[in-house]
Structure 1
Amino acid sequence: MNKPKLLLLVAIIAAIVIFFASGAQEYFTLQSLKAQQADFQVLFDESPLLVAGGFFAVYITMAALSLPGAALLTLLGGALFGFGWGLLLISFASTIGATLAFLISRTLLRESIEKRFRRQLESLNRGVEREGGFYLFTLRLVPVFPFFVVNLVMGLTRMRVVTFYVASQLGMLAGTAIYVNAGRELGQLESLSDILSPGLIASFIALGLFPLIANRIVGLMRKRKQQAGFTKPKTFDYDMVVIGAGSAGLVTSYIASAVNARVALIERHKMGGDCLNTGCVPSKALIRAGRAAHEIRHSERFGIKANEPEIDFSKVMGHVHDVVKSVEPHDSIERYESLGVEVHTGQAMLQTPWEVVVDGRVMTTRNIVIATGARPRVPAIPGIDLITPLTSDNLWDLKVQPKRLVVLGSGPIGMELGQSFARLGSHVTIIEGAPRVMPREDEDVSALMHEQLAGEGVDLRVNSTATRIEVLTGKDSQPMRHLVISSPEGEESWVEFDELLVAIGREANVEGFGLEALGIAVSERGTIDVSESLQTLQPNIWACGDVAGPYQFTHAAGHQAWHAAVNALFGGLKTFKVDYRIMPMVTYTEPEVARVGLNESEAIAQGYEYEVTHYEMGESDRALAERATEGFVKVLTEKGRDRILGVTLVGASAGEWLAEFTMAMKNNIGLNKVLSTIHPYPTLSEANKAAAGMWKNAHKPEGVLKVLDRYFTWRRNGRFEPTKTLTTAPAASGAAEALSSSDTSVTDKQ
């Protein structure tokens, strides 16, 4: 704590100590005020400005220091100054004092509280940013929490000072008026409970209902404003129309039909969207083929000799297409129609907030859910029009395996497909503009994956920017394709390729179906702008999946789809906000990179104080048996606590055993509970328990252990001896729950 803050803290503590040490609190009782009311009245009659000014200053001080007695001072103000002047003085004094308390809390507490309880404050800050003034206004109108608590808590948020002041001034006015009015009858009050007569209780109930009613009125006004100029149908064909039959659209329509809503699903291309046809399913089939070739090449480590595998690329792609066909029935038109969903093939066009046109047919619906997905982003590199670049969309049409494949981007798609093609025999070069591959992961993850892929023959070029593409004429008049890349220093080099795979991200499909005509906004990220409940600016139109963001995962789309469906159908009764706090993600390289919550880079950027527990997969008995020792478990916990902030797993099938940590974080289960859970031996998931054991070992109670050492010495020898320096023996192989000091790698970070 810096010197100004320390001085402020000392001054506040001194003022509070003086207040209670002097017995000043005894004057702030109803009996004391009643006994001295006449004396106050005499002083006020003699020196009205002096008394009013002193009262104003005392009230501000009491409120700023959060001292008890504000309610009684309000009563006294009503008795001394009458309703009008009393309300004026107390309204401004209470608001100024509350603002000072707000600033004191922000100055002294916010930094330390944010570090320790950042996650708890995130949702509060989001609410403050979205409707902070109205939220505070509601708290002021309904005195559920003491006002001094509201002052201190709001000081921990990012609310602007002027917003706090204005909302407090207006919000406390009604309650202040009630107390000032009661103060006029101070002589008749026997206790503070007399203030809350049945009539006044009814007044507070009315005040509590007022913000709800006001919010409803504001919502209706916004709705009418957004839908002005459109004619609402008197009847509707459907309860919901879903545009897009990818992961988000399929789940949305499934949920709607499950609750007996009449729902229509519109798809212009293929059922199943990107995940089934060009993304998750075919890529995992290709990854499996590449792993099979890799296993054959390295079978000798298991004592099995094999020749170099012969790759029949057409059959590899046949395997990929067969897998897609085997999954297709799950997402087919026939299946969804059997579930009660009316499926239409064609281009959807929004005509009004309640009308969707498909091939000339107008469908009327109470709600619309947009789930149009995303497409690969292709950069405007000079010369790219000279070739047909590969993307995750058209890659699966390849008939001939490229001998030389260049991949732009080292994110999940680039790394997964790059490694797979390399294992199938292509010479792969991955180009990354950042200083390291997989730049969104921690540096230790990037370093391990760089070493892994480089060891498999992948040429990794980091700090490299694609400058242009050149197509030259080579021997036998055959075209030679070059990708020219430049370093940060401007030095150019080139890479020859047969095919260029662009894997630099995806952009949402927001064009071509009428968003602009309805005034539905697109965010800076290029996705549809939605609220926390996935509602667009049109109150009955919702969006989910890749087109809404912020994540582009199939499981994220499914998570959003539930909220979109339920909020659209039942939002008039209850609206659910999407919770993104616990979002698992996996990169399906080998080893896999799986994580949930924060990684170290994010924790540092967000100012968390944390500890790292690091367990090497080389210590896992199952990993040793599988010859799959590459990787580690890295758990971030709050400093001094077992509460999990985030986990990164790097290892064979890491995505399969990430779920334990995901569930733990979702249900606020700490490492102690993970450690006490029985894991089957030998499994890779035992690494989770081993990491929990390492954390426990690093936090063992040294004082208790010293006492126990002396106790057992006494039991053995009948006498006490000086305490020895305690050591912990290394854990036995396979005993994941052992607390091994030799394996402990827990460090504090900030």
Structure 2
Amino acid sequence: MNRIKTDICIIGAGSGGLSVAAGASQMGAKVVLLEGHKMGGDCLNYGCVPSKALIAAGKQAHAMETGASFGVKPTQPTVDYSVAKDHVHRVIDTIAPVDSQERFEGLGVHVVREYGHFISRQEVQAGPNIIEARRFVIATGSSPFVPPILGVQDTPYYTNETIFDLRDRPDHLIIIGGGPIGMEMAQAHIRLGCKVTVLEGAKAMGKDDPELAAVVLDRLTDEGVQIVEGQLARKVSGTDGDITVETQDETTFQGTHLLMAVGRKINIDKLNLDEGGVAHDRGVKVDPGLRSVTNKKVYAIGDVAGGLQFTHVAGYHAGVIVRSMLFGLPAKASTRHIPWATYTDPELAQVGLTEEQARKAYGIKLDVVRFPYAENDRAIAEGKTTGLIKVMVSGGRPVGASIVGAHAGELIAMWAMAIANKQKMSAIANTVLPYPTLAEINKRAAGAYFSPKLFDNPTVKRVVGLVQRWLP
């Protein structure tokens, strides 16, 4: 066995692990990074990057069919599904060097391409290597969850880890799961010429604001996606090109391909956490500083920490624990300022509390202000008037924002910054933005908060009247 002593040993080279490795190494710590599969993790290889690339291909096809109102004659696009997948893999290949072993070794990180598992409270084994470290970081992420549906072991299916390698366009894709992954893939495939059916056991996009989710679901339905809610899949059967899904009420759905998109399971099975004295259930049990509650040498970040499952959360967690590990400073993770987005068309984005959550938390001390895309000049010019913003405000500060519409994932950034820095609504209202931009939707929403206080206030009108009499 080869023994290695180091300051920090990171298990997993996804977004969070790479962020810790880069930061810690460049600030002088000795770092060992373990990865038994692909550098870059799920986001680069199977998640955020390939899905957005396929969505972009679908948008190009859709644009050819929807130009009539601009004077552009609609035409039926000829889609080469395999070439669309070539685009997906070109995007991955373009980004991959940033996450590569070579780059991180250039930063001074000792990269070991083996899976790691604990053999004691202060040691991890990775292949023929035993790593003894002052601190360990578990950053192993999550994988697609495949529910124990009858027949699933004998029926071909895809997950987000395999769908991007499919080269032949599905004639009819059945998607089990109506969350963000399911809906993004549904719209991408319907636009690329597939028939698509989504089966959801509860409510599609059920974790989002229902008013805003309805805007997205209506668009997908209009584009031809069949969305079936309240029907749990009970049994699957068939072969390549001939798939049957039976729901609990014995309704059957026929398709050619099956995609499982029902959620994620945290990757802890290979870690031997008990041997490391690391308490766990679904994920690693951590304190507010993301440190194991039972082994203070161990931190967990990203999905494996058991909270929000987003790539940018893993990156945020990395910053929290670097502060603690390298400088010994107190640091705690929070979720109140974490945004997220679903990249359908229109997009749906959220930061902080939804309206329902905010009403429960603040009651009568809450104001909800709204502004529609249909009253934004840039949205009108580009024919993207479907959508709205809702901002939840208490004590003059935003506590949540929900946006559905074009570029919602970009527009949410202003509210994420405001909530993270505890800014008041006046900070948004006082910001001067270029005209015409979609970003003015944010400013108009802030204006909608102040308008009643200024324009419907008798005291303000009396003061203005008195001033006008006395002004020279």
TM-score per shorter chain, which class? over 0.9
1:467 counterpart (215, 220, 234)? 234
What is the letter of the counterpart of residue 357 of structure 1?
Q
1:588 counterpart (343, 355, 371)? 343
Q: Which residue of 1 aligns with 2:424?
A: 670
1:521 counterpart (279, 285, 297)? 279
1:501 and 2:259 aligned: yes
1:438 and 2:216 aligned: no
2:24 counterpart (226, 250, 256)? 256
Cα contact 2:213–2:348 (8 A) shared by 1: no
SS at match of 2:69: helix
Cα contact 2:9–2:32 (8 A) shared by 1: yes
Cα contact 1:244–1:265 (8 A) shared by 2: yes
| TM-superposed deviation, 1:538 | 0.9
Structure 2 CA distance for aligned equivalents of residues 480 and 597 of structure 1: 43
| TM-superposed deviation, 1:656 | 1.0
Cα contact 1:253–1:263 (8 A) shared by 2: yes
Structure 2 CA distance for aligned equivalents of residues 479 and 672 of structure 1: 57
Structure 1 CA distance for aligned equivalents of residues 241 and 80 of structure 2: 25
Structure 1 residues 692 and 348 mapped into 2: Cα distance closer, same or farther (>3 Å)? same
1:300 and 2:68 aligned: yes
Once the two structures are superposed, the pairs formed by residues 509-548 of structure 1 within 5 Å of their partners are 509-523=267-281, 526-536=282-292, 537-548=294-305
Structure 1 CA distance for aligned equivalents of residues 449 and 156 of structure 2: 52
Which entry has the higher C-alpha Rg, 1 or 2? 1
| TM-superposed deviation, 1:714 | 5.5
SS at match of 2:268: coil
Structure 2 CA distance for aligned equivalents of residues 448 and 697 of structure 1: 27
What is the letter of the counterpart of residue 698 of structure 1?
P
2:243 counterpart (471, 478, 481)? 481
* Cα offsets for 1:156-183 (capped at 9, x unmatched): xxxxxxxxxxxxxxxxxxxxxxxxxxxx
Give unmatched runs, 5+ long, in structure 1: 1-234, 473-477, 717-750
Give unmatched runs, 5+ long, in structure 2: none
Q: Which residue of 2 aligns with 1:185?
A: none
SS at match of 2:124: strand
SS at match of 1:249: helix
Structure 2 CA distance for aligned equivalents of residues 565 and 386 of structure 1: 45
Structure 2 CA distance for aligned equivalents of residues 712 and 565 of structure 1: 56
Q: Which residue of 1 aligns with 2:406?
A: 652
SS at match of 2:378: helix
| TM-superposed deviation, 1:676 | 1.2
What is the letter of the counterpart of residue 370 of structure 2?
H
Structure 2 CA distance for aligned equivalents of residues 712 and 513 of structure 1: 73
Once the two structures are superposed, the pairs formed by residues 332-347 of structure 1 within 5 Å of their partners are 332-347=100-115
Once the two structures are superposed, the pairs formed by residues 712-727 of structure 1 within 5 Å of their partners are none
Structure 2 CA distance for aligned equivalents of residues 567 and 470 of structure 1: 51
Cα contact 1:356–1:363 (8 A) shared by 2: yes
| TM-superposed deviation, 1:557 | 0.1
Q: Which residue of 2 aligns with 1:156?
A: none
Structure 1 CA distance for aligned equivalents of residues 213 and 262 of structure 2: 17
Q: Which residue of 1 aligns with 2:90?
A: 322
Higher relative contact order (CA 8 A, sep 6+): 2
Structure 2 CA distance for aligned equivalents of residues 493 and 505 of structure 1: 23
Q: Which residue of 2 aligns with 1:352?
A: 120
Once the two structures are superposed, the pairs formed by residues 49-448 of structure 1 within 5 Å of their partners are 237-434=5-202, 436-448=203-215
Cα contact 1:642–1:671 (8 A) shared by 2: yes
| TM-superposed deviation, 1:251 | 0.5
Cα contact 1:254–1:339 (8 A) shared by 2: yes
What is the letter of the counterpart of residue 671 of structure 1?
M
State TM-score, norm by structure 2: 0.95
Cα contact 2:173–2:257 (8 A) shared by 1: yes
SS at match of 2:91: helix
1:601 and 2:356 aligned: yes
Cα contact 1:354–1:366 (8 A) shared by 2: yes
What is the letter of the counterpart of residue 170 of structure 2?
P
Q: Which residue of 2 aligns with 1:578?
A: 333
Structure 2 CA distance for aligned equivalents of residues 582 and 658 of structure 1: 11
Cα contact 2:155–2:237 (8 A) shared by 1: no
Cα contact 1:374–1:509 (8 A) shared by 2: yes
Structure 2 CA distance for aligned equivalents of residues 635 and 315 of structure 1: 41
2:447 counterpart (693, 709, 713)? 693
1:560 and 2:317 aligned: yes
Cα contact 1:253–1:565 (8 A) shared by 2: no
Q: Which residue of 2 aligns with 1:89?
A: none
Structure 1 CA distance for aligned equivalents of residues 445 and 136 of structure 2: 47
What is the letter of the counterpart of residue 383 of structure 2?
R
Identity of aligned residues (%): 38
Structure 1 CA distance for aligned equivalents of residues 418 and 370 of structure 2: 18
Structure 2 CA distance for aligned equivalents of residues 702 and 266 of structure 1: 63
SS at match of 1:586: strand
Cα contact 1:405–1:426 (8 A) shared by 2: yes
What is the letter of the counterpart of residue 237 of structure 1?
K
Structure 1 CA distance for aligned equivalents of residues 169 and 180 of structure 2: 21
Q: Which residue of 2 aligns with 1:550?
A: 307
Q: Which residue of 2 aligns with 1:30?
A: none
| TM-superposed deviation, 1:712 | 7.6
Structure 1 residues 706 and 349 mapped into 2: Cα distance closer, same or farther (>3 Å)? closer
SS at match of 2:25: helix
Structure 2 CA distance for aligned equivalents of residues 650 and 570 of structure 1: 41
What is the letter of the counterpart of residue 350 of structure 2?
R
Larger proportion of helix: 1
Structure 2 CA distance for aligned equivalents of residues 715 and 522 of structure 1: 72
Structure 2 CA distance for aligned equivalents of residues 479 and 414 of structure 1: 20
RMSD: 2.0
